[in-house]
Amino acid sequence: MNQGVAITGMGLISAIGNNVADNFASLISGTTGISKISRIKTVHEHEIMVGEVLLTNGELEKLLGLPADSHSRTPLLGIMAAKEALAQAEIQDISEYRTGLISGTTVGGMDKSEQYFYDFYERDLHWNHINSLHAGDSTQKIADAIGLTKSFVTTISTACSSAANAIMLGARMIKSGELDRVIVGGSDSLSKFTINGFKTLMILSDTYNTPFDEHRKGLNLGEAAAFLILESDAIVSKENKKVLAYVKGYGNANDAYHQTASSENGDGAVMAMEKALKVAGITPSEVDYINAHGTATPNNDLSEGRALLRVFKENVPEFSSTKPFTGHTLAVAAGVEAVYSVLSIQNNVIYPNLNFKTPMTEFNLVPETQLKYKEIKTVLSNSFGFGGNCSTLIFTKEA
């Protein structure tokens, strides 16, 4: 049987909470973080709904003890989540073992770059942020903030599967013996660039998103940061670490079907799920709950639903999408949902697929619509990105 990689810490900030505990409380109470845009001035603020972290950049800097206007929003969110994860894992000396940081993002420091664009002639106002646009800068700022200065630090940007691929790479590096500990996940913030881009794709909803519903209108964008601490068996044994869950399986596939759309029959999703099951050494019948990608776009939910039927046949496990709580957090989606998957295992709970009313006409798949308690040993979590980059993670209670 395949050995899993231990998860010993988690950190999360999203539209439904500034830490893991607050997020879980919102999930259990059915409290959504979706609302009209309040933090960004945009012509679309009355047209769409999003999942915003309500803390301002200034408030985040104050909480983190950072100088004013020193960071773009993406690393600020990332530092919050990474520090929470390190604290839960009780890591005092981050350099004690070979430790890496793998972070996913799509927009990087775009929010500050936008300010620079508007205030171009006031060069001393935001000029220091123009070099912070690229994705790697956000990761480096997170690494600097947690004291990780001489180790493996890298960024993954595979659209909405970025954090899944970060988790996957981290697990593989521990298994191969290249690192002893890896901080994995991602951070993404809302920006006008992102809002305008998705508005152009015509897949944004003007109301609460409704995954797997016949009348779904599109997604709600969200912002978040989520990190998990992965550690080797050697560290867990030596330090008698408490293990929250294990990364048991993972799979990635790129069907290259379309620049933004998923394969009509879920080809990439099927390959990713089958690979993850094979790596985990389990059968489809051993999956207790599926945290679906479930973006509430016409294309994704049809594609993912068909993929689930192809992999699980007539025995599709109970499934739900948690994006009605947080919005679609892009590069961080798999990180957010990895934390939720671990919490599902720890608390033996299946989260409700909020806002669902009418089954899709193409197949008879109905997500779990109520909070449900049952024994959860294995959770499969899907994340699919633009360009057909599909990733699946499997989390288990036991190694």
Residues 330 and 274 in one domain: yes
Q: Which residues are 385's β-sheet partners?
A: 389
Q: In the listed set 191, 216, 239, which residue is the last one of a domain according to the structure? A: 239
pLDDT of 298 above 60: yes
Q: In the listed set 206, 239, 272, which residue is the last one of a domain according to the structure? A: 239
Residues 331 and 255 in one domain: yes
pLDDT of 326 above 90: yes
pLDDT of 120 above 70: no
Report d(CA 102, CA 86) in Å as an integer.
Answer: 14
Active site residue 215: no
Residue entry with tokens 């070099």: 131
The active-site residue out of 71, 126, 129, 293 is: 293
**Which residues, including other chains, have CB under 8 Å from residue 87's CB and lie 6 or more apart?**
9, 11
Structural domain count of the chain:
2
Q: Which of 27-36, 120-129, 283-292 has the lowest mean pLDDT?
A: 120-129
Q: How many helices (H) and strands (E) does the chain have?
A: 13, 15
Residue type, 324: P
| Closest by CA position to 341, among listed 314, 308, 319 | 319
- Whether 391 and 271 have beta carbons less than 8 Å apart is answered as no
Residues 218 and 354 in one domain: no
pLDDT of 1 above 50: no
| Closest by CA position to 26, among listed 350, 366, 325, 226 | 325
Residues 38 and 171 in one domain: yes
Average the pLDDT over 233-252 and give the result: 97
Given this model, what pLDDT does residue 116 score? 72
Residues 347 and 285 in one domain: yes
- Whether 181 and 266 have beta carbons less than 8 Å apart is answered as no
Active site residue 390: no
Residues 301 and 232 in one domain: no
Q: What is the CATH number of the domain that holds 123?
A: 3.40.47.10
Q: Which two tokens stand for residue 152?
A: 């493996």
> How far is the CA of 185 from the CAs of 18, 86, 103, 171, 220, in angstroms?
16, 13, 5, 12, 21
Average the pLDDT over 265-269 and give the result: 93
Report d(CA 183, CA 323) in Å as an integer.
Answer: 23
Query: Exposure of 236 by Cβ count < 10 A (0-12 exposed, 13-18 middle, 19+ buried)?
Result: middle
Residues 229 and 275 in one domain: no
Residue 397 pLDDT level (bands cut at 50, 70, 90): very high
User: pLDDT by residue (tens digit) across 182-230?
Assistant: 999 999 999 999 999 999 999 999 999 999 999 999 999 999 999 999 9
Report d(CA 17, CA 311) in Å as an integer.
Answer: 34
Residues 225 and 295 in one domain: no
User: pLDDT by residue (tens digit) across 152-168?
Assistant: 999 999 999 999 999 99
Give 201-250 as a DSSP string: TT-B-SS---TT-TT---B-EE-EEEEEEEE-HHHHHHTTPPP-EEEEEE
What residues make up the domain containing 23? Answer: 5-239
User: pLDDT by residue (tens digit) across 365-379?
Assistant: 999 999 999 999 999
Name the CA dihedral angle for 12, 48, 300, 271, rounded to a multiple of 10 degrees: -30
Residues 99 and 137 in one domain: yes
Q: Which residues are 10's β-sheet partners?
A: 228
User: pLDDT by residue (tens digit) across 31-80?
Assistant: 999 999 999 989 998 899 999 999 999 999 999 999 998 899 999 999 99
Q: Which two tokens stand for residue 270?
A: 């099927």
Q: In the listed set 214, 239, 264, which residue is the last one of a domain according to the structure? A: 239
Given this model, what pLDDT does residue 112 score? 79
Q: Which of 16-30, 102-116, 242-256, 303-317 has the lowest mean pLDDT?
A: 102-116
Percent of the chain scored above 90 by pLDDT? Answer: 84
The active-site residue out of 160, 215, 258, 390 is: 160
Residues 194 and 300 in one domain: no
Q: Which two tokens stand for residue 58?
A: 């200034």
Residues 302 and 227 in one domain: no
Given this model, what pLDDT does residue 128 score? 63
Residues 216 and 252 in one domain: no
Given this model, what pLDDT does residue 235 score? 97
Q: DSSP code of 3? A: P
pLDDT of 335 above 50: yes
Q: DSSP code of 394? A: E
